[in-house]
């Protein structure tokens, strides 16, 4: 059940840093405070569905903490289309296109999701041009990320695909992801992903732990992607 949230200065600052690239479409404090005033929050336990595929969107979501995966079934096989991290906006594109959700959204771990009523968001975007421009930048950024996802699947063998994904998503601080989720993202078997991670780790390009992978050699992963 959605509950009201503490609309603190910290939340407003977090929204400013999360919603698209602020340097391309700056927002006023008034815009951010107005958006924050209409947000509510829902906590989802890991494994809980946020919404179903084909569901008509009645809310737009912003992931505050945790992780959410967008997935759908293809030929009886569940495929993860995208793994969302804090700051990710989701559920708005089907709203704009007047379509049902193309995927289901499910919390991978305990997650806190902020939400705004769809009709209220439409009204805000119509009333506040700066907010509308910022939202457009956010949508464009997410479309660019999906193009990167497609590129992951086209770079070649599985080692190259894994290296490409890790180079973009993990970094030195690492990324929390299970081998099964990574396999779903790349359309591969978990055992094959496990073997690929072991090969990359043996080359001292990455470090793996329980549900976590960190990049330790960016140049080495780039060389793997290039086929060197």
Looking at the fold, whether 204 and 180 belong to one and the same domain comes out as yes
Q: What pLDDT band is residue 25 in, cutting at 50, 70 and 90?
A: confident
- pLDDT digits 0-9 by tens, 64-88: 999 899 988 877 777 888 889 889 9
Question: In total, how many domains does the chain have?
Answer: 2
pLDDT of residue 19: 81
User: What's the whole-number average pLDDT of the chain?
Assistant: 86
- The residue from 98, 131, 150 where one domain ends is 150
- pLDDT digits 0-9 by tens, 180-224: 888 878 878 889 989 999 999 999 998 888 878 888 888 988 898
Mean pLDDT of 21-45: 87
The rounded distance, in Å, linking the Cα atoms of 162 and 160 is 5
Tell me whether residue 184 is exposed, middle or buried, using C-beta atoms within 10 angstroms of its C-beta: 0 to 12, 13 to 18, 19 or more. Answer: buried
Give the single-character DSSP code of 55. Answer: P
Looking at the fold, whether 21 and 123 belong to one and the same domain comes out as yes
- The set of residues, in sequence order, having a beta carbon less than 8 Å from that of 12 and lying 6+ positions away, is 29, 32, 33, 36
- The residue from 93, 118, 150 where one domain ends is 150
SS3 (DSSP) at 62: strand
pLDDT of residue 92: 92
CATH of the domain at 173: 1.10.10.10
Looking at the fold, whether 144 and 159 belong to one and the same domain comes out as no
Q: Quote the domain boundaries for residue 135.
A: 3-150
Cβ atoms of 134 and 25 closer than 8 Å:
yes
The rounded distance, in Å, linking the Cα atoms of 77 and 95 is 27
Looking at the fold, whether 143 and 182 belong to one and the same domain comes out as no
Q: What pLDDT band is residue 28 in, cutting at 50, 70 and 90?
A: confident
Query: Does residue 170 register a pLDDT over 70?
Result: yes
Looking at the fold, whether 126 and 164 belong to one and the same domain comes out as no
- The residue from 150, 183, 214 where one domain ends is 150
């Amino acid at each position: 059940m959605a509950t009201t949230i503490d609309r603190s200065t910290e939340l407003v600052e977090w929204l400013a840093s999360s919603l698209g690239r602020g340097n391309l479409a700056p927002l006023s404090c008034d815009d951010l405070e107005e958006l924050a005033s209409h947000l509510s929050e829902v906590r989802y336990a890991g494994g809980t569905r946020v919404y179903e595929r084909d569901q008509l969107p009645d809310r737009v979501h912003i992931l505050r903490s945790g992780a959410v995966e967008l997935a759908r079934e293809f030929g009886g096989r569940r495929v993860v289309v995208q793994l969302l991290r804090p700051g990710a906006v989701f559920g708005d594109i089907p709203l704009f296109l007047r379509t049902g959700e193309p995927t289901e959204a499910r919390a991978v771990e305990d997650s806190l999701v902020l939400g705004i009523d769809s009709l209220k968001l439409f009204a805000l975007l119509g009333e506040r041009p700066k907010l509308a421009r910022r939202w457009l930048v956010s949508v464009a950024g997410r479309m660019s990320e999906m193009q990167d996802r497609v590129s992951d699947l086209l770079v070649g063998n599985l080692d190259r695909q894994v290296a490409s994904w890790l180079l973009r998503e993990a970094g030195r601080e690492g990324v929390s992801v299970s081998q099964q989720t990574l396999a779903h993202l790349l359309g591969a078997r978990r055992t094959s992903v496990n073997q690929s991670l072991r090969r990359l780790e043996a080359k001292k390009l990455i470090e793996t732990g329980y549900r976590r992978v960190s990049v330790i050699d960016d140049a080495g992963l780039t060389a793997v992607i290039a086929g060197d």
